[in-house]
């Protein structure tokens, strides 16, 4: 048998390596910006065109490279960051593997212009698919400029997997935020299709956070400071009242490198226990400084995951530091020893409901009888109180049946939830429904009965209604007498601008808008004015988590978010008319078996199933 194992050519090996390093345009942005930081740049410009598919350019004013270094930088495993294997355990730089530029050059057209400060002229290199097309001397400013054009031009399959320009731009913006937040001492610029998105001057950590996420962020931040022999913790956490249902503003930085750590995230969430709802997530910007020898960065191709030597100690310190800050700045409730305990409700009565007074009613007493009124009219003159009983003699025998009280009616319990307008015509039907545990609606069918989840059923009804309104653009908008003014970060405003047309089709009306403030002039009929901010926050969160970017996806996400937010919840009491209307509307839907989130809406219990229980 002949030899069948062969060495791969360099260009094929580079393309395989590019699959690990370069997943999408945002990966290129990360690698190039980290190289610029390692070069000692004080000003970095990021230029993007068409979501990074056409152009990604990073310009810095760092130390630059000589002509030899510029040529070697595109070779595999060529780096100036490490000299031996031991250096991997004492890293203070960003890029260190020497694979980034070689991988990028294997799948794109790359142009490099660089000049160190001690030379008169610089170097210009053009590379196409790992092959150097040209190298020449050029007059250029101090520093380095790398332009990556036509990403994945020689791998059409990978290019087809890229999402829309708006989605790829969102990922690039996320990477830009991570790098910019870690290095507030560097001036960053971000340009997209010729327009400036961010201009972040040199500042401190707090000012950098405010410059990125908007001026309203300043009032939401609580500082965190803790220094021990194991770790130095600094940064900011968001106040509990500003917790969101999305995980957008959550950043961990270890030695000025952004990381993802579910374990440390749990420590922060544990510190907020009891202060926020279980479905909400706190915001935080936490910077950790540890000994480089105590962490291993080289366990993930994107270097966003780190292995710590002593995670348990780090967990305890981080949780305590966050909890201390919440208490120190009066965010968390504290014990008040000066309060008079005599004014407190005793523990035995803490959860006891108030008892209504019992009123004894004499059903036979009727002060409005004709004889009574005549008796009162004749008693204007003051008479002796003797013989007052005679006024009621024979009264009982003269009371007619039609005038007597046969029963006493009491005020009924108030209905806490009604999913239909009060003006809706009352539906008459022989169908019987009742609510079980304020969660299910039980109704009868020919073969038995149906148990319906009221929340999921209402989600399905609203989902198809919103989907129809967006598609045919016939939604009714309720105009507000006083427009609402809501504040969003620049990235959130970009998402709203992207889906503004779909929002308008569903009934939202928009007024003036700038980088951080949005004016709402109209809302859909089913959306309360007080819920507009919550609905838009949830919509932005769902849209950020979604990976697709076509028009159908926008419509689907919008409809799902609105139906999930506005649907009747478990625990709400529905009157008979609402129960019956919900049942009829559910079975009028095109798909009544599963909710928009693919969960079962109802189950059927036949008469045979019931009979089997009695065998």
Q: List all residues 6 or more positions away from 228 whose beta carbon is below 8 Å from its beta carbon.
A: 317
Backbone angles phi, psi at 585, to 5 degrees: -65, -35
Residue with tokens 């209307």: 581
The CA R_g of the chain, rounded to the nearest whole Å, is 35
Give the CA angle between residues 34, 39, 41 to the nearest 5°.
90
Q: Which residues pair with 143 in a beta bridge?
A: 115
**Dihedral angle computed from the Cα positions of residues 368, 373, 379 and 384, in that order, rounded to the nearest 10 degrees:** -50
In 3-state terms the chain splits into helix, strand, coil percentages (rounded to 5) of 35, 20, 40
Backbone angles phi, psi at 66, to 5 degrees: -75, 175
The confidence score (pLDDT) of residue 185 equals 94
Tokens of 154: 């020689």
> Running DSSP on this structure, what letter comes out for residue 430?
S
The confidence score (pLDDT) of residue 428 equals 40
Check pLDDT > 80 for residue 233: yes
Tokens of 199: 């201009």
Check pLDDT > 50 for residue 176: yes
Domains present along the chain, CATH in parentheses: 10-200 (3.30.565.10), 212-328 (3.30.230.10), 433-586 (3.30.1370.100)
Give 459's pLDDT tier (boundaries 50, 70, 90).
Answer: very high
Model confidence over 424-436: pLDDT tens digits?
333 344 568 889 9
Check pLDDT > 60 for residue 270: yes
Residue 214: left (phi > 0), alpha (psi -120 to 50), or beta? Answer: left
Out of 27-41, 202-216, 546-560, pick the least confident. Answer: 546-560
Check pLDDT > 60 for residue 383: no
pTM over 0.75: no
Give dist(CA 522, CA 409) in Å, integer.
43
Helix (H, G, I), strand (E, B) or coil at 343: helix
Q: Which residues pair with 605 in a beta bridge?
A: 449
């Amino acid at each position: 048998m002949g030899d069948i194992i062969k060495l791969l050519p360099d260009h094929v090996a580079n393309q395989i390596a590019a699959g690990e390093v370069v997943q999408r345009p945002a990966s290129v942005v990360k690698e190039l910006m980290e190289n610029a930081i390692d070069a000692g740049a004080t000003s970095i410009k990021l230029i993007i065109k068409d979501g990074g598919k056409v152009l990604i350019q990073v310009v810095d004013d760092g130390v630059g490279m000589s002509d030899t270094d510029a040529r070697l930088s595109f070779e595999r495993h060529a780096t100036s960051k490490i000299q031996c294997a031991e250096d991997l355990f004492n890293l203070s730089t960003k890029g260190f593997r020497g694979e980034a530029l070689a991988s990028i050059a294997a799948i794109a057209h790359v142009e490099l212009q660089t000049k160190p400060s001690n030379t008169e002229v610089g170097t210009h290199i053009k590379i196409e698919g790992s092959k150097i097309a040209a190298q020449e001397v050029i007059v250029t400013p101090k520093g380095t400029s790398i332009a990556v054009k036509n990403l994945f031009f020689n791998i059409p399959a990978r290019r087809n997997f890229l999402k829309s320009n708006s989605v790829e731009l969102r990922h690039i913006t996320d990477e830009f935020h991570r790098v910019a937040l870690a290095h507030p001492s560097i001036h960053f610029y971000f340009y997209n299709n010729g327009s400036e998105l961010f201009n972040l001057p040199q500042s401190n950590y707090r000012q950098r956070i405010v410059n990125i996420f908007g001026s309203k962020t300043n009032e939401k931040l609580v500082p965190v400071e803790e220094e021990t022999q194991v770790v130095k913790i600094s940064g900011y956490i968001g106040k509990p009242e500003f917790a969101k249902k999305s995980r957008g503003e959550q950043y961990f930085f270890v030695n000025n490198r952004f990381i993802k750590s579910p374990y440390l995230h749990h420590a922060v969430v544990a510190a907020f226990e009891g202060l926020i709802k279980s479905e909400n997530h706190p915001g935080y910007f936490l910077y950790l400084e540890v000994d480089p020898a105590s962490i291993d960065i080289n366990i993930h191709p994107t270097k966003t995951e780190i292995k710590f030597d002593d995670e348990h100690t780090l967990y305890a310190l981080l949780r305590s530091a966050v909890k201390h800050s919440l208490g120190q700045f009066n965010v968390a409730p504290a014990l008040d020893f000066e309060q008079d305990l005599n004014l407190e409700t005793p523990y035995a009565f803490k959860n006891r409901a108030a008892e209504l007074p019992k009123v004894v009613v004499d059903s036979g007493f009727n002060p409005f009888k004709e004889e009574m009124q005549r008796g009162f009219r004749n008693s204007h003159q003051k008479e002796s109180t003797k013989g007052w009983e005679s006024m009621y003699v024979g009264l009982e025998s003269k009371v007619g049946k039609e005038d007597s009280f046969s029963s006493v009616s009491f005020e009924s319990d108030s209905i806490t939830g009604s999913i239909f307008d009060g003006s809706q015509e009352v539906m008459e039907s022989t169908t019987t429904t009742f609510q079980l545990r304020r969660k299910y609606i039980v109704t009868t069918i020919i073969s038995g009965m149906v148990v319906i989840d009221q929340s999921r059923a209402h989600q399905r009804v609203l989902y198809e209604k919103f989907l129809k309104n967006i598609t045919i653009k016939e939604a009714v908008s309720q105009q507000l007498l006083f427009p609402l003014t809501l504040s969003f970060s620049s990235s959130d405003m970009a998402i709203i601008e992207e889906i503004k047309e779909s929002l308008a089709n569903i009934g939202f009306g928009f007024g003036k808008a700038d980088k951080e403030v949005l004016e709402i002039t109209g809302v859909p009929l089913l959306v309360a004015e007080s819920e507009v901010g919550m609905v838009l926050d949830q919509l932005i969160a769902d849209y950020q988590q979604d990976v697709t970017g076509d028009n159908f996806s926008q419509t689907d996400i919008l409809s799902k978010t609105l139906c999930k937010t506005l649907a009747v919840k478990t625990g709400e009491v529905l009157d008979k008319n609402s129960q019956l209307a919900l049942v009829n509307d559910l079975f009028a839907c095109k798909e009544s078996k599963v909710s928009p989130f693919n969960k079962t809406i109802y189950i059927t219990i036949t008469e045979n199933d019931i009979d089997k229980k009695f065998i």
